A and B are shown apart, each in its own frame.
Chain A
Amino acid sequence: MEEKILEILEEHCEEALDYEGDSMMEDGVIDSFTVINVVSDLEDEFDIEIDAKYVVAENFRNKEAIIALVQKLLEE
């Protein structure tokens, strides 16, 4: 699962893979449009629905947060 998420991130935002901070949005690594593309690919790849309430900066602060979000949704 992690590998696939990283592949999706790499496709839309390669910088996110090397980012080690805690706020990709505020640090200009990722923008809201990239988030839309990442969410769309995650939903399609894992056949999950990512509700709008999860699409917030906190869940996209770094790659670990995105992996944790998908993990949580898969377990629901």
Chain B
Amino acid sequence: MAGRTLFQKVVILGYGKVTSEVLQYVYDRQMEYGYELVFIEHEVHAFSTTEKICGNHGILFHRITDKKELAEFLDRIEEKTLIISASNNFLFPASLVEKAHITIINFHNALLPGYPGRNAPTWVIYRGEKTTGITWHYVTAGVDEGSIIIQKTCQITEDMKAYELAQCLMDLAAEAFRESFADILAECAGTREQGFDPDRHMYRSSEVPADGILDLTESPEEIYRLLRSVDYGKSAVFPPLQTTIDGRSAEILRYRKISGGKREEGEGLLYLPLGDDAALKIKYRFRDV
């Protein structure tokens, strides 16, 4: 039986795990609904699998890294279209958002109206939140302001790093998308307004927790939280944290929570007690060497 939708085209925009899962799911439903499917890669990532998925299934793939070119591409769409912004930092122009034949939904990696803007996993860890979650919402001219389609929550565990939380949130986002997609296509998804505070803080990509300075006079727990909050592995989301050791500027290379007895000697190693039987091992290098 054919699915019910008036959308003639579905455009997916994004990168990363959630985008791959959304792309695969939307492709799997394509025969049922009959829409044309287009994928746009705006930000190129080292481990992206979306091009491979498109190649395997014959999905129209566009790599458009230039913002102006992307805006023009989207502006040329004439059919009734659903644009899915799966994990994407491109801000849709108001002129596009306001078009009657265009509907845009976006995944945000926090529970809106809380933590709008960039790098939400970082800020929830840094602020010591115990729970966070994901939001799929309709896109309006404002950033992360549109009405909410679905939200799901998850716990932030005491050792969770930003990339681990990001992974958890992407899994939740894919799950929530699968639950909502049919209603979104049928334009009957239940929504609720965000009711946000106009004074809420919009996190920007240039903002770094603690201004990127690791203050060794802080408690080890606070230091550990800061380290975890900016930890996206080798993705240069933030510059390396800076600190001062013995009056010299140093850069943090890596860190690890270890059980108390596992200490080893070595240059550029620092240990801080962390709870009863654990320590925070920090590897650093002086900047003047």
Residues on A lying within 8 angstroms of B by beta carbon are 25-26, 28, 31-33, 35-36, 39-40, 43-44, 47, 49-52, 55-57, 60
Contacts and interface: CB of A to CB of B under 8 A. Distances in A.
Given A39-B233, A55-B234, A26 B256 contact: no
19 contacts: A25-B49, A28-B49, A33-B163, A33-B167, A35-B47, A36-B232, A36-B233, A36-B234, A39-B233, A39-B234, A40-B254, A40-B256, A43-B254, A44-B254, A44-B256, A52-B235, A55-B46, A57-B47, A60-B47
Nearest to B232: A36
A32 B254 contact: no
B236 interface: yes
Contacts of A35: 47, 233
Contact of B233 (A26, A40, A47, A57): A40
Nearest to A56: B46
Interface of B: 16-17, 45-47, 49, 52, 163-164, 166-167, 232-236, 253-254, 256, 266
Contact of B16 (A28, A32, A51, A52): A32
A32 B253 contact: no
B46 A57 contact: yes
B206 to A, nearest CB: 20
A47 B266 contact: yes
Contacts of A47: 266
A44 B164 CA distance: 18
A17 B164 CA distance: 23
B47 A25 contact: yes
A66 B28 CA distance: 34
Nearest to A32: B47
A56 B235 CA distance: 11
A49 B286 CA distance: 15
Contacts of A43: 254
B163 A26 contact: no
A26 B56 CA distance: 11
A49 B233 CA distance: 12
Given A33-B17, A55-B46, A57-B47, A26 B52 contact: yes
A35 B45 CA distance: 13
Contacts of A32: 16-17, 45-47
